[in-house]
Amino acid sequence: MPLLLGCVADDFTGATDLASMLVKNGMTCVQVIGVPTGPLPEADAIVVALKSRTAPVAQAVAESVAAAEALLVAGAQQLFFKYCSTFDSTDEGNIGPVADALLKRLGAGFAIACPAFPANGRSIYQGHLFVGAHLLSESGMENHPLTPMKDSDLVRVLSRQTDGAVGLVPFAVVEQGAAAIRREMTKLAEGGRRYAILDAVSDAHLHAIGEACANHALITGGSGVAMGLPGNFRAAGLLAERSDAAALPQAEGLCAVVAGSCSRATLGQIGFARDHVPVLELDALATPDARALAQQALAWMDGKLSAERPVVIAASAPPERVAALQQKLGRDAAGLLVEEALAAVAAELVARGVTRLVVAGGETSGAVVQRLGVTSLRIGAEIDPGVPWTFAESRAAAGAAPAGIHLALKSGNFGARDFFLKAFGP
């Protein structure tokens, strides 16, 4: 099974988002964590998850090109550079510089830049990005601490990040479908443009754009525009019709949830779980010591682990208690302390035979994945939108049988109230 689509994503949850989109549209997909060092797993698509969104430009470029190199060596026929659907970047980068470097590596002169994802409220009209009913620059993103987006005109935004010229394929053309989009892109490329922003306000637009880019060496955008790409590979006879793209090895064994997210959604999910399964709520304010917190969890879990229902171990707390711990230790130290405790708890759960683990919280997931030595995640079916079950392979388990565990990494705000039970349901 040859690799078809090689993707480089500029952050971890964005990578999962893209991988899930590809699986839903019929490609098998593995998410690899960090620049690949060894041989790549077998899949129709591979998404390399980097943390390059806010890294220094030179580092983001170097890592992205190294990831692309590994994907090309593995046979990737097309590269996809995935960034956020709100085009998170600054005038320095990293979208422009990374795209420039990838185009150069591929010897290509033109690529699209399309972060639109109408189903999630991200639409582009006349080159302006909207978040729901608001311009990007009035969506709250203008106040982002790292990548404030104060300009909604993506032609202008991208122009500031590259020495290449940026054009627009406007709504009136996109509306006419793939052939018209292709003609317009050819015109732009012949007119010396290196990039095109494309208007898109519906999934039909994204499908047409995807189809028009079938022969492009590089596609850049959000996960929305990837929905049209599996169809291209099928049309070219390279990808079989699959109904089993989301198939993972059989999930059985002990189950658990570790929660470090303090988002409203996660707090609600913990509240719901409390009425149905054993829940331990660690109090980091009373015990501001990672090792002692982990010890409390280990003592508590004794005799409670089951294959029928999860145990939930949470450090999550309401805003006033989080603020109190942050005041005591400083914000970063408070976060790290809890992440360290939960990573230790996750490692112990796995050591005691847990093979199905849900982790709530983006940073918390990062800490757990690192502690477990997970190197790649095969993407399965979604539990709730944006949160798939995955099958994790780790350095520790490499070659061992049975290798890996099932992991669901839930970004804080995702998931319905019953998520922690639903994840382990039939």
Residues that bind ligand ADP (CB under 6 A): 260-263, 284, 315-317, 321-322, 325-326, 334-335, 338-339, 361-364, 411-412
Residue 344 Rama label (left phi>0; alpha psi -120 to 50; beta): alpha
Helix, coil or strand: residue 294: helix
Min separation Cβ 323 and ligand ADP, Å: 8
Q: Which residues pair with 32 in a beta bridge?
A: 48, 376
Give the sign of the dihedral formed by CA 281, CA 284, CA 290, CA 292.
negative
Return the number of the residue (220 or 316) whose C-beta is nearest ligand ADP: 316
Residue placing its CB nearer to ligand ADP in the complex, 206 or 377 = 377
Our CB check for ligand ADP shows the closer of 26 and 335 to be: 335
Q: Return the closest-CA partner of residue 20 out of 247, 207, 223.
A: 223
**Cα 421 to the chain's mean position, in Å?**
23
Q: Which is nearer to ligand ADP, 376 or 411 (CB)?
A: 411
| Phi, psi of 410, rounded to the nearest 5 degrees | -100, 120
Least separation, in Å, of the C-beta of 263 and ligand ADP?
4
Minimum CB distance to ligand ADP smaller for 164 or for 386? 386
219 vs 315, beta carbon nearer ligand ADP: 315
CB 163 within 8 A of CB 80: no
Phi, psi dihedrals of residue 208, rounded to the nearest 5°: -65, -40
Nearest Cα residue to 35 out of 24, 50, 20, 23 = 50
The least CB distance from residue 352 to ligand ADP, in Å, is 22
| Closer residue to ligand ADP, CB minimum distance, 86 or 137 | 86
Distances (CA, A) of 278 to 257, 310, 326, 407: 10, 8, 28, 20
Closer by beta carbon to ligand ADP, 319 or else 402:
319
Q: Residue 59 Cβ, how far from ligand ADP at the closest point, in Å?
A: 22
Closest separation in Å from C-beta 407 to ligand ADP: 15
CA angle 259, 262, 265 (to 5 degrees): 90
The minimum distance between CB 103 and ligand ADP, in angstroms, equals 33
Q: Is 34 exposed, middle or buried (0-12, 13-18, 19+ CB in 10 A)?
A: middle
Which is nearer to ligand ADP, 169 or 262 (by Cβ)? 262
Closest distance of CB 412 from ligand ADP, Å:
2
Min dist CB 277 to ligand ADP, Å, is 20
Q: Name 220's bridge partners.
A: 81, 113
Cβ proximity of 260 and 360 under 8 Å? yes
**Residue 29 and residue 245 in contact, taking contact as beta carbons nearer than 8 Å:** yes
Residue nearer to ligand ADP on the CB measure, 51 or 321: 321
Tell me the residue type at 227. M
**Number of helical (H) and strand (E) elements in the chain, helices listed first:** 14, 18
Peptide bond into 94 cis (omega under 30): yes
- CB 351, min distance to ligand ADP, A: 21
The conformation of residue 10, written as its DSSP 8-state character, comes to S
Tokens 């033109």 found at:
110
Instruction: Return the residue nearest ligand ADP (CB atom).
Output: 412
Contact present, 46 and 6 (Cβ < 8 Å): yes
Residue 68 CB, shortest distance to ligand ADP, in Å, is 28
